[in-house]
Chain A
């Protein structure tokens, strides 16, 4: 009995947590459960969620990507540079995403072919990407971007009454959910994380799978970066600092094991929501952002301890 029960708690535990926090905040603050606030909240989490979706794939392969925040900054700065030089916005965004893909693939290559542990490899590229951003921008924000509707819509627009970033997030979520659970690639991601040796001996090109997940994460980080750039109408060289931690937190709160092979992307979405709801709610309750960090940390610890108690 114990096994099945704990297995089920692991599946719906984060959701129960989310519902609990939402109900609590609805009682504590009148302005929390309003359509405006919920849409605002969803927009706030969309950037973290996009990064965390990629991070889910990486962590499922028993890896980690610390470079996503810096990669976001570098990708955004380069995209903004292309936009301000007058390049066609569609082309610039497309090239920006490709840059994210290539930088992510670089992480993957260092980890697989260079045989460097993911933590160290991405710690190094985190610094390198940040440095490259500062070099490219000379430490100053990139401004004077395109006023194309498409680009402006990405961060600021609404589709009917729903913010465009939320729509992007949901579409990406559905696509990734399908990939993870219904494709050969998705199965192999789980296999590589579950037991790389056994996966390789079963005819899985484990290195290729890993390179692909880091590429995916790089691309999603730049997508998040472009949304952020559009929203701020400028690319900041310090953008995305510490974003990797929020993304990892969302994945972990969502019940994905850092040991790899076990977890769900739905959990990550809920994890991102929990983080977003907590900061949103605490803001509404006028709790100082200093205290907010303590609460966020405590939630992460609680979630991880719940995960450990399963084994």
Chain B
């Protein structure tokens, strides 16, 4: 084992607006090490990373790179010392080619003429991609035509091209398919062999145990500890993160399953999906599995009236209903927690109050005038019920962590007291503690007779919380399974189109 540290951060303190977000935090990453950084949302991971990369300044503490004390004032200075970050939201310009993206801002030219040396750039791109073992990407392809996984490879290649010695990967697998995750791991392994260090920020425990060498855990801005992965266990890490025993990951379900609430018959959207039929009963959780692009999100967006259906029927309690706009769905008591919090779920600059109030304006107003007292009590109740961690309700939601943002989205929808709740990837980018809270909210709602449809790409989650599972592949329903008969393999077979239930 190589033990030479590349980056050492010791005694880091940082406060925003007087809130201490980091107190005496340490992080040491060795050369050629894959180091996991874990902690619940709001634990201070991103702040620590941003200090390392020169985005934020530190209030106290020391940062050493290659044993030399250093203060980065800008991300560029950090980059020059070989520290790169690959954000969850990729810095790829879809309208440009792979090569143009690779050399963005550092284009090769013929001498100082300013004329681009396209040949050399194309060659270099091809070479860097090959070094990563990626031969499926053509340098002249538009980046926008590539999958998210491939775009990520471009970013990694770009980081390596600048002689990167440490790459921070923030939730790198959040949007990847299983196969893409596998090839990302191969790349990470080859980087490790070349002596490149990696900081792997993720909530996915399985991945951390599969790929990382050591792990540092933060909790509430404090340093909890650093462990060698091989000498620790899943439960140890969870205990470190939450500071207590978390118990079972999924709540025990004993909701009484009642009559059919929502049924969908032969729903179709041109070119995306067809013949989608299913139902969900009161108190039941229907899990919807499938790969990316299977049309899961489109199905629920169509039910919700956000997309115009081509044909088919939606029934509520056996009666056909016409939904032409989300407002119709809301009036029928259907709530939809969207996949993408920032783009579709929240007014990201607006306050928690404004976000929660938005779906509930009709109940907190009289003749179009908002009644402040009603609004206050509704919003206060909901954020309390969901344990949203915040300073006050007038705080902009963008200042909250991912898990708390998601709780705000759920809060705004619980206000309408839905009879049908649709959740699309409800725990994406959410830490273990918040995940558990979200599961227990779902469980509680189902016990109160709400019919729940949950789309998820995380199979343990689908298997852990659903009563029934529906699998989609390329816009078709491939299989419906009772929870007892379902397992990961059966779901994957159907999701990849290798099993089709002809019924």
Contacts and interface: CB of A to CB of B under 8 A. Distances in A.
Residue with the highest number of chain A CB atoms closer than 10 Å, among B325, B338, B347, B354: B347
A277 interface: no
Interface string B330-353: 110000101000011111111000
14 contacts: A182-B370, A182-B372, A184-B370, A187-B354, A187-B370, A195-B344, A200-B306, A201-B306, A201-B326, A201-B338, A203-B326, A204-B358, A261-B347, A261-B349
B347 A198 contact: yes
A205 B349 contact: no
A198 B345 contact: yes
Interface string A168-189: 0000000000000011111110
Contacts of B350: 190-191, 194, 261
A148 B69 CA distance: 83
B272 interface: no
Contacts of A34: none
Nearest to A261: B349
Contacts of B110: none
Contacts of A4: 17
A231 interface: no
A1 interface: yes
A183 B343 contact: no
Given A198-B347, A201-B306, A202-B359, 20 more contacts: A3-B17, A182-B370, A182-B372, A183-B365, A184-B365, A187-B357, A188-B361, A190-B347, A191-B358, A195-B348, A197-B343, A198-B338, A200-B326, A201-B326, A201-B336, A202-B330, A202-B412, A203-B331, A204-B358, A262-B349
B369 A183 contact: yes
Interface residues of B, number: 33
Classify the secondary structure of B's interface with A.
mixed
Nearest to A4: B17
A201 to B, nearest CB: 5
B325 A205 contact: yes
A16 B329 CA distance: 47
Contacts of B74: none
B361 A184 contact: yes
Interface string A198-212: 111111110000000
Contacts of A183: 365, 368-370
Given A182-B370, A203-B330, A198 B343 contact: yes
B361 A187 contact: yes
B359 A203 contact: yes
A204 B331 CA distance: 11
Contacts of A191: 347, 350, 354, 358
Contacts of A186: 370
Interface residues of A, number: 25
Contacts of B369: 182-184
A190 B354 contact: yes
B327 interface: yes
A199 B358 contact: yes
A204 B361 CA distance: 10
Contacts of B358: 187-188, 191, 199, 202, 204
B415 to A, nearest CB: 11
A97 to B, nearest CB: 21
B301 to A, nearest CB: 8
Contacts of A190: 347, 350, 354
B326 A185 contact: no
A195 B327 contact: no
The 7 closest A-B pairs by CB, nearest first: A194-B347, A203-B330, A203-B327, A184-B361, A202-B359, A202-B358, A184-B365
A201 B345 contact: yes
B304 interface: yes
Nearest to A1: B17
B335 to A, nearest CB: 10
B91 interface: no
A194 B344 CA distance: 11
B347 A199 contact: yes
A155 B347 CA distance: 42
Interface string A218-242: 0000000000000000000000000
A202 B349 contact: no
B327 A198 contact: no
B349 A194 contact: yes
A34 to B, nearest CB: 40
Contacts of B336: 201
B362 interface: yes
Nearest to A5: B17
A195 B354 contact: no
Nearest to B15: A1
A184 B372 CA distance: 11
B346 to A, nearest CB: 6
A188 B357 CA distance: 10
Interface in B107-124: none
A195 B346 contact: yes
Interface string B295-313: 0000000001010000000
Residue with the highest number of chain B CB atoms closer than 10 Å, among A183, A184, A198, A199: A198
Nearest to A205: B327
Nearest to B301: A201
B368 A184 contact: yes
